Amino acid sequence: MSTATASTATPKKPFTAPPREVWAWGIGALASHYLIQTFGQAATIFTVGFAISPLIIGWAMMIPRLFDAFLDPYLGHLSDNTHTPWGRRKPYLIVGAVLGAIMLNLVWWANPHWPAMHTLVYLGVLGTLFYVCYGLYTMAWTAVGYELTDDYNERSKVAAVAAFFLAIVALSSSWIYRIALMPIFGHNRIVNGHLQGDEIVGIRWIAAVVGIIIVAAAMVAAAGCRERFTHANKKHEPLLPALMTSLRNRPFFILLMVKVCQLLGERLAGALFSFLAIYYVCVGDKTLAMNITGLGGTIGLVWNFALLPFIKPISVKWGKRAAFIGGACISMCAALLQPFIMNPHLPYLMLIPALVIAPLTMIAGTVANAIVPDICDLDELETGQRREGLFTSVMGFMAKLEISLCALLSGYIVTWSGLNVKLTSPQPHDVLNRLYWLAVIPNIIFTLGALLLTFKFPMTSEFMDAVRKQLDERHKAIRETAPNNELVAEEERHALVLGTGNAASVAK
């Protein structure tokens, strides 16, 4: 076979990175999820452990997320158009992880005796710096993951690898507060018959260990993954037109609106249910509440191990759109079930979602999370640009905007309910009853909105097969008409790594 023929041959299979690259990228999920889930403990620890008003903590948690939300699209666009000897994403991976781990540790060194305003300023400044670093890392890590395969169903498998490491983080994070209460962390006291340590001392030690894991995981991801599109987007497009183009992408817009409803429902309810678990179900017994939370996380990890091999077959059989709709149906069922499991007489009923709902949600959520790479392919077909970073950051913008609003709303709702975190006796019944319904009703309403929107999502497997075919034909035409193009050479190098290319064509 001649060199020219080899160089223009189309690979028989869509590109998929070797398993070692996929798993190296998956390890990077540890950094992303440990960053945000450990920082997320601040809402509870600063309210319950530091005994600071939930309203103040709500503002302290909202301001950094809000600032970072508006910064995210710029950072994602910057990443898409960055060209360095190390690639478009890797510099952001390393810088984001190292600085993020430092900020995460500094957060917990606020002085419990500071005036409330000092704590607000401290958390606001450090939280803002933290979220910038977290946004840099997660945007870059997610964008690298979108490049790992062009195959519609393999993308579900890649998402499953990320979900596996997310489950590990979720398990350990569900025990963080409980571990921070262990007697080894000084100032031991007896609370509700349990010997407890100081959660402020405990979280400082935990954050130090987590910081080491974050940096190590980011290094593995950066060293183990090869970027595919380092020569993409040589022609720079300004941010605002690129942003408007992404929002005109109908599947992407619907996906964003679904996420908004899910966050206003599930996220707000989750923030409030942590208070209900402690003060309503467990009658102020933090140790019991955290034991149940940790056990639920453990059950979730077991389910994740058991179901991981079935993710790709499910994607092949039902497709991502069906999983998207199915996940919203499951969330709706969970929202309707929630009022029946918050029972002070039977606290372990709170494990029912982990036993029944979590495995179904994990399957549907993992398959549906592989939708964004398909949207990136559709965008490339329509615009000729590879903008994984922009799509990731716009989703991050919406998520952080809603999370910021939820953090603020949860602080106001807890305050409006009359909950007193400094009260040593059980909270008044009318206070807990108000908090209960303020958590349940919005969850049902917004989760129903998300379910209705999923039926409007248009991208089926047949739709994406047609998109992929047109992209492959376009790439083939580029290889035939411009064989010395940088993008062509880059694709050839990746094909050679996978054994589908020709050494002679690469040498040429």
Q: Is 430 inside any structural domain? A: yes
The whole-angstrom separation of Cα 36 and Cα 75 is 18
Q: H or E segment at 190?
A: strand 189-191
Q: Which residues are within 8 A (CB) of 82 and not within 5 positions of it... i.e. 6 or more apart?
A: 88, 91, 92
Q: Is 161 inside any structural domain? A: yes
Q: How confident is the model at residue 501 (pLDDT cuts 50, 70, 90)?
A: very low
Q: Is 256 inside any structural domain? A: yes
- Write out the residue range of the structural domain in which residue 434 sits: 15-459
pLDDT digits 0-9 by tens, 334-391: 888 888 888 888 889 888 887 777 777 767 777 777 788 888 888 888 887 777 777 7
Q: What is the CATH number of the domain that holds 132?
A: 1.20.1250.20
Q: What is the pLDDT of residue 210?
A: 93
> Phi and psi dihedrals of 191, rounded to 5?
-130, 120
Listed range (77-86, 108-117, 249-258, 328-337) with the worst mean pLDDT: 77-86
Q: Which of 200, 219, 203, 196 is nearest to 104 (CA)?
A: 203
pLDDT digits 0-9 by tens, 139-150: 889 888 888 888
Burial per residue of 391-425, b for 16 or more beta-carbon CB atoms within 10 angstroms, e otherwise: bbbbbbbbbbbbbbbbbbbbbebbeebebebeeee
Torsion angle of alpha carbons 215, 220, 221, 227, nearest 10°? Answer: 130
CA 390 → CA 33, 150, 173, 303, 383, distances in Å? Answer: 20, 19, 29, 33, 13
Q: H or E segment at 255?
A: helix 250-262
pLDDT digits 0-9 by tens, 455-471: 998 888 888 888 888 88
Q: H or E segment at 35?
A: helix 19-39
What is the SS3 assignment for 280?
Answer: helix
Task: Calculate the average pLDDT of the chain.
Answer: 78
Q: Is 152 inside any structural domain? A: yes
Q: Which of 376, 419, 131, 396 is nearest to 271 (CA)?
A: 419
CA 147 → CA 338, 344, 374, 465, distances in Å? Answer: 38, 48, 11, 17
Q: Which residues are within 8 A (CB) of 323 and not within 5 positions of it... i.e. 6 or more apart?
A: 314, 315, 363, 364, 367, 368
The whole-angstrom separation of Cα 488 and Cα 480 is 10
Q: Which residues are within 8 A (CB) of 326 and not within 5 positions of it... i.e. 6 or more apart?
A: 318, 360, 364
How many structural domains compose the chain?
Answer: 1
> Which amino acid makes up residue 392?
T
Q: Is 215 inside any structural domain? A: yes
Q: What is the pLDDT of residue 484?
A: 55
Contact 233, 216 (CB under 8 A): no
9 has pLDDT over 50: no
Q: What is the model's pTM? A: 0.64
* Strand partners of residue 195: 190
If DSSP states are collapsed to H, E and C, what string results for 96-139?
HHHHHHHHHHHHCCCCCCCCHHHHHHHHHHHHHHHHHHHHHHHH
If DSSP states are collapsed to H, E and C, what string results for 479-502?
HHHCCCCHHHHHHHHHHHHCCCCC
Q: Is 354 inside any structural domain? A: yes
What percent of the chain is predicted at pLDDT more than 70?
81
Cα 321 vs. chain centroid, distance in angstroms?
Answer: 20
Q: What is the pLDDT of residue 4?
A: 36
Q: Is 502 inside any structural domain? A: no
pLDDT digits 0-9 by tens, 29-70: 999 999 988 988 887 788 777 777 777 877 887 778 777 777
Q: Which residues are within 8 A (CB) of 482 and not within 5 positions of it... i.e. 6 or more apart?
A: 488
Residue in the block written with tokens 């000084």? 186
Q: Is 216 inside any structural domain? A: yes
